[in-house]
């Protein structure tokens, strides 16, 4: 019930369309009962020979008294209520219309039939469209909220979850909810109302037969509930296996060069086949449940029909039931089968949707490790600089940084060096609050970064990393990322400063050239220079460079290094350096080892101390000589 209550919150925004849908469904369901009621006059008045003897069957006196008591017709007219009086007036009007000119009744029956079909056509359209509007809009809102929640999560969230899982939640699970809300939910209301109308009709037509038929109704409900429970569990596991497939597919496509370089195509194909086999196994279990429901329902319905025919046979032979009465009753009972069958499918679909909704809401409910305070202030400048004040950061049970204390002056270039796992990337990731410190604090202009808005904090920073992230868009839109009003001159100036204007101009459409997914149409050096141009266009006072030249060839590194020098000019810069030769001019070099600062100084000062930095420098210099 909690899941349904949460889904209903999204539906409330579209109550107007829901009212239109619900009203149309009520009218549509009423027309189904009208069609059943028109069966007898259709045969008696339209298809019977002219002048044939017709009898009007009156309601049994006992039933008539019960009906009058329920409708309060035995009360004085002033106490009946406006609804009952209105029903009586409509009934009297219809009777007067029906009994005037009996020879034209067949025309009246056909006119009534045409009216019912026209009403059904209009209400069918409005109910279908209105419910689709509600369902599609609701899932759109849910999908938007889920994406917004994911995109605002901390780096820890993304580190602990696969891409495929997140894609599966936003795409596959949302689609399952959409199918249930926009289609199956409409069927639920429409078929339920239709079923109620038909049940009322069969009870009015023949109360005794209706009561006997309803005795077997629980036999149809029990399997529906059981199948629904089983399907919910199997579809949950099926969707989890689909997330595994999505993760595997994303990893393989992203690393296709490595796959081909190591000739691991057969290995990856086998892994993918194993994943699809697991998905197929759970899918087939779900399909077995779905496929079993219809035969079981039809078998139970068939057994009920046989018992009903046996009972009717005895009643007709005894002269207490006419064939016409039984056929009219049977037509209404047969019309009830379709709603019951659809409601069974609705039950299965809703269980699938509830399983998907459970996974979606579970992801929505994951708390964000990096929350912005309600009274957060706006940070506008670097001011007095950046300070790491006895910072400790623990990931899981393992400390990554221990009691780090460092001051970075405005305009200073600070290089971070150390072996793999020393904590360099974590050091810079704490500054924009991709993670929050475990102990201590980080300040910019003397203000704790946890006390300022995330937007203002991160707007002061530009990032250029070894793994360049570009988007499947034009060169211009990648440089001016996220800007709506793009100054072409500013884009070109940023590209020139990044040594990128020359190669951009040589592209087929210049700055309007689409560069493909992740910039696949560009070389590594070109992608890196585009990333630098993007940072230059943003013009941030703080710059973070994460091994920006480590994966480039000599010529590309020269061009990129020139662009970086242009980028760093006048900015407070943190540089994670892999090649120590690129940081000789840094104002300060910070050496990290096992999460601790072990040395701080200039290049020349650290070489003289003959400590960790000197060992790293000698080792790298020896490798370069060998190469």
Provide the 3-class DSSP secondary structure of residue 605: helix
The more confidently predicted of residues 552 and 501 is 501
Q: Which domains does the chain have, with CATH numbers?
A: 2-50+60-364 (1.20.1560.10)
The rounded distance, in Å, linking the Cα atoms of 334 and 331 is 5
> Please, how many CA atoms are within 13 Å of residue 407, restricted to the half-sphere of its CB?
7
pLDDT of residue 627: 39
DSSP 216-285: THHHHHHHHHHHHHHHHHHHHHHHHHHHHHHHHHHHHHHTHHHHHHTT-HHHHHHHHHHHHHHHHHHHHH
Would you place residue 409 in the very low, low, confident or very high pLDDT band (cuts 50, 70, 90)?
Answer: very high
Contact residues for 480 (Cβ-Cβ < 8 A; gap 6+): 486, 487, 490, 491, 534, 537
pLDDT of residue 274: 86
The more confidently predicted of residues 464 and 320 is 464
pLDDT of residue 42: 73
Segment 219-223 shows an average pLDDT of: 64
Q: What string of H, E and C letters represents the secondary structure of 511-535?
A: HHCECCHHHCCCCHHHHHHHHHHHH
Which range is least confidently modeled, 392-406, 549-563, 609-623? 549-563
Which range is least confidently modeled, 71-85, 146-160, 309-323, 385-399? 71-85
The rounded distance, in Å, linking the Cα atoms of 473 and 468 is 15
pLDDT at 56 over 50: no
Cβ pair 297, 345 in contact under 8 A: no
19 token code pair: 């009212």
pLDDT at 624 over 70: no
pLDDT at 134 over 60: yes
pLDDT of residue 298: 72
Would you place residue 240 in the very low, low, confident or very high pLDDT band (cuts 50, 70, 90)?
Answer: confident
Cβ pair 282, 241 in contact under 8 A: yes
Which range is least confidently modeled, 49-53, 245-249, 412-416? 49-53
pLDDT at 307 over 90: no
Percentage of the chain modeled with pLDDT above 90: 12
The rounded distance, in Å, linking the Cα atoms of 190 and 181 is 13
pLDDT of residue 440: 93
Provide the 3-class DSSP secondary structure of residue 100: coil
The more confidently predicted of residues 75 and 307 is 307
Whole-model pTM over 0.95: no
Q: How far is Cα of residue 199 from the mean position of the Cα atoms in its chain?
A: 39
pLDDT of residue 444: 93
Highest mean pLDDT of the ranges 158-167, 294-303, 497-506: 497-506
| pLDDT tens digits along 72-123 | 555 565 555 555 565 567 666 766 766 777 667 778 878 888 888 999 889 8
pLDDT of residue 449: 93
């Amino acid at each position: 019930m909690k899941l349904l209550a949460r889904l209903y919150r999204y539906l409330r925004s579209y109550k107007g369309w829901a009212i239109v849908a619900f009203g149309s469904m009520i009218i549509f369901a009423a027309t189904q009962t009208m069609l059943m009621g028109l069966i007898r006059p259709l045969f008696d008045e339209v298809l019977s020979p002219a002048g044939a003897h017709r009898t009007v069957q009156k309601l049994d006196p006992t039933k008539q008294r019960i009906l009058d008591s329920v409708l309060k017709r035995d009360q004085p007219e002033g106490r009946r209520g406006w609804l009952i009086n209105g029903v009586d007036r409509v009934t009297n009007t219809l009777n007067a219309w029906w009994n005037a000119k009996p020879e034209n009744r067949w025309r009246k029956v056909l006119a009534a039939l045409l009216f019912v079909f026209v009403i059904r056509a209009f209400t069918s359209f409005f109910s279908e469209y209105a419910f689709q509007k509600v369902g599609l809009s609701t899932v759109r809102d849910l999908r938007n909220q889920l994406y917004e929640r994911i995109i605002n999560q901390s780096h820890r969230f993304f580190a602990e979850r696969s891409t495929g899982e997140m894609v599966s939640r936003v795409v596959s699970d949302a689609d399952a909810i959409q199918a249930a809300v926009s289609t199956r939910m409409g069927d639920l209301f429409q078929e339920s109302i239709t079923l109620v109308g038909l049940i009322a009709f069969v009870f009015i037509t023949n109360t005794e037969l209706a009561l006997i038929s309803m005795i077997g109704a629980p036999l149809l409900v029990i399997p529906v509930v059981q199948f629904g429970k089983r399907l919910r569990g199997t579809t949950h596991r099926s969707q989890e296996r689909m997330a595994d497939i999505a993760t595997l597919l994303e990893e393989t496509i992203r690393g296709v060069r490595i796959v081909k370089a190591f000739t691991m195509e057969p290995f990856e194909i086998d892994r993918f086949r194993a994943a699809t086999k697991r998905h197929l196994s759970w899918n087939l279990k779900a399909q077995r449940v779905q496929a079993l429901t219809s035969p079981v329902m039809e078998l139970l319905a068939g057994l009920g029909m046989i018992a009903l025919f046996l009972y009717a046979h005895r009643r007709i032979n005894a002269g207490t039931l006419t064939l016409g009465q039984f056929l009219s009753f049977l037509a209404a009972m047969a019309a009830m089968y379709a709603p019951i069958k659809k409601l069974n499918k609705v039950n299965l679909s809703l269980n699938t949707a509830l399983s998907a909704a459970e996974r979606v809401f579970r992801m929505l409910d994951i708390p964000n490790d990096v929350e912005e305070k309600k009274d957060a202030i706006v940070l506008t400048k670097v001011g007095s600089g950046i300070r790491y004040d006895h910072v400790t950061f623990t990931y899981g049970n393992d400390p990554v940084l221990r009691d780090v204390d460092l001051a970075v002056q405005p305009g200073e270039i600070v290089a971070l060096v150390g072996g793999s796992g020393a904590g360099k990337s974590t050091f810079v990731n704490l500054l924009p609050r991709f993670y929050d410190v475990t102990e201590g604090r980080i300040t910019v202009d003397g203000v704790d970064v946890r006390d300022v808005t995330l937007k203002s904090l991160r707007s002061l920073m530009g990032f250029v990393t070894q793994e360049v992230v570009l988007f499947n868009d034009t060169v211009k839109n990648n440089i001016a990322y996220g800007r709506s009003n793009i100054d072409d001159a500013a884009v070109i100036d940023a590209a020139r400063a990044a040594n990128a204007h020359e190669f951009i101009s040589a592209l087929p459409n210049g700055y309007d050239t689409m560069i493909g997914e992740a910039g696949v149409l560009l070389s590594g050096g070109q992608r890196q220079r585009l990333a630098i141009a993007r940072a230059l266009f943003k013009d941030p006072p703080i710059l973070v460079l994460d091994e920006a030249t480590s994966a480039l060839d000599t010529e590309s590194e020269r061009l990129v290094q020139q662009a970086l020098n242009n980028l760093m000019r006048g900015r407070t810069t943190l540089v994670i350096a892999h090649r120590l030769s690129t940081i000789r001019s840094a104002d300060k070099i910070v050496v990290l080892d096992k999460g601790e600062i072990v040395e701080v100084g200039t290049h020349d000062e650290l070489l003289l101390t003959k400590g960790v930095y000197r060992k790293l420098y000698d080792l790298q210099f020896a490798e370069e000589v060998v190469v």
